[in-house]
Amino acid sequence: MDISLSPEDLAFQTEVREFLDEHLTPDIRRAGKLMTSVYPDHESSMKWQEILRQKGWAAPTWPVKYGGCKWTLMQHYIFSKECTLAGAPLLSPMGIGFVAHAISAFGTEEQKGYFLPRILTGEVFFCQGYSEPESGSDLASLSMAAVEDGDDLICTGSKIWTTHATEANWIFCLVRTSRTSKKQQGITFLLMDMTAPGIEIRPLVMSSGEEVQNQVFFDQVRVPKANVIGQIDDGWTVAKYLLNFERGGAAMAPMLQVWVNDIAEQAGSLMDSPGFRSRLADARIRTDVLEIVEFRTVSAIAQGKNPGPAASMLKILGTELSQAITELALEAAGPRGRLYQPHATMPGGHVPHFTGPADGYVSGEPWQAVAPLRYFNDRAGSIYAGSNEIQRNILAKAALGL
């Protein structure tokens, strides 16, 4: 696999850099640099999405006819890397990165025509309804019921760990429409309007102090069958397809490489420690390995292929490496990294029960305030999108035939 930059790639890199220099405003750039997790400040992220949409770059991995970019693998990588280097915030992945792929692959023409343009503009903002209080890594055991009633499904149950549910106006859900001897059967993939009667959202305060995750309750919520993606009782097929994008559809290596470089610059005298330098060098080597795996996976996605078990590999490598890097960052931050200073950051959600100093004082540099919040948020990385233990089981079966 040739990953060197051709003259065309170098020209594209220049175009991207010039675009970022012109359009990344200081406030948007600040939101990217001070992100406390993989979820950006909502307002800044949506501003950046609109700027990218006007350029035609908001959803580069989508099929071209729906607004994607006819880029090469290297151009996808260049765009991701340059955005990271420039400090651009991430876009919320639930719509553009996840459900849009399911809609374009399994949706009707009416569904594609309605949802895809509105996801691009931000008029439709999705959250994800997968996990339940008694159904997490074993997602197929979900029990939220959807009972057929004429042209509608009446939904009752709850979903948990729902990111940005308070910002979303739509949710894509997996619901139980029938029960059979095989739990993967009888599941339906459903799009639901969050303003429908019977929906209640309760924010959850995470260990970082942020309200990014939520529990959502559904009490006899009536949803048109026209909002089913794919077929009733065959939602597991759609969910498996979508999970591959959630687990391996985005490039993490550029962001992690930037983090490692930042730590090397910020660690000061700690870089005199052979042990710390060794662990930092190990993290950098692992980001290079991750990058190669991502090249292969993004290439498959760009060609319209299912990334398959490589998505599970990326989920494991990316999240565990990110955890290791946030540990190094917290160590580099030193005593000031032990202080709780969310007012110096751009959290991905509301921070309740916290009143910062009236004068906005920050002890140390902003990156030292970011370090502990990223550390706490990243502890969940090996659990969300299917725990890493589950991903290892998938690899054992799909890749090793065990």
In this structure, is residue 2 part of a structural domain? no
Do 326 and 386 lie in one domain? The reply is: yes
> For residue 272, is it within any domain?
yes
pLDDT > 90: percent of the chain:
70
Is residue 282 assigned to a domain? Answer: yes
Which of 102, 121, 140 terminates a domain? The answer is: 121
DSSP string, 52-75: HHHHT-S-TTS-GGGT-----HHH
Give the type of residue at 268: G
Rounded-to-integer distance, Cα 64 and Cα 140, Å: 33
pLDDT exceeds cutoff 60 at 200: yes
**Same structural domain, 226 and 247:** no
Residue 394 is predicted with a pLDDT of 86
Q: Answer yes or no: do 222 and 136 share one domain.
A: yes
Q: Domain end: 216, 235, 254, which one?
A: 235
Residue pLDDT, tens place only, 312-348: 888 899 999 999 999 999 999 999 999 999 999 999 9
Residues 341 and 270 in one domain: yes
pLDDT band with cut points at 50, 70 and 90 for residue 131? very high
Which pLDDT value is given to residue 306?
A: 67
Is residue 249 domain-shared with residue 384, that is, in the same domain?
A: yes
Average pLDDT, the chain: 91
Does any domain span residue 362?
yes
135 DSSP 8-state letter:
B
CATH number, domain containing residue 318: 1.20.140.10
Per-residue pLDDT tens digits for 33-78: 999 988 889 999 999 999 999 999 999 989 999 999 998 878 888 8
For the stretch 354-384, pLDDT in tens is 888 999 999 999 999 999 999 999 988 888 8
Could you tell me if residue 186 is inside a domain? yes
* Statement to judge: residues 251 and 376 lie in one domain: yes
Task: Clarify whether residues 105 and 133 are in a common domain.
Answer: no
Domain that holds residue 62: 7-121
Pairing of strands 199-203, 145-149: unpaired
Q: Residue 3: pLDDT above 70? A: no
**Residue 250 confidence class, pLDDT cut points 50, 70, 90:** low
On the 0-12 / 13-18 / 19+ scale of CB atoms within 10 A, 343 is middle
Of 20-29, 104-113, 235-244, 369-378, where does mean pLDDT reach its minimum?
A: 235-244
Same domain for 219 and 248: no
Is the domain of 227 the same as that of 278?
Answer: no
The total number of structural domains in the chain stands at 3
| Domain termination residue (choose one: 98, 121, 144) | 121
Does 310 share its domain with 209?
no
* CATH number, residue 149: 2.40.110.10
For residue 13, what is the domain's CATH number?
Answer: 1.10.540.10
The 3 state secondary structure assigned to 345-383 is CECCCECCCCCCCCCCCCCCCHHHHHHHHHHHHHCCCCC
Q: How far apart are CA 99 and CA 189, in angstroms?
A: 10
Question: Residue 247's closest CA among 63, 392, 72, 74?
Answer: 392
Q: Give the SS3 label for residue 127.
A: strand
- Residue 381 structure tokens: 């990385």
Tell me, yes or no, whether 227 and 133 share the same domain.
yes
pTM, entire model: 0.86
Q: Are 132 and 55 within one domain?
A: no
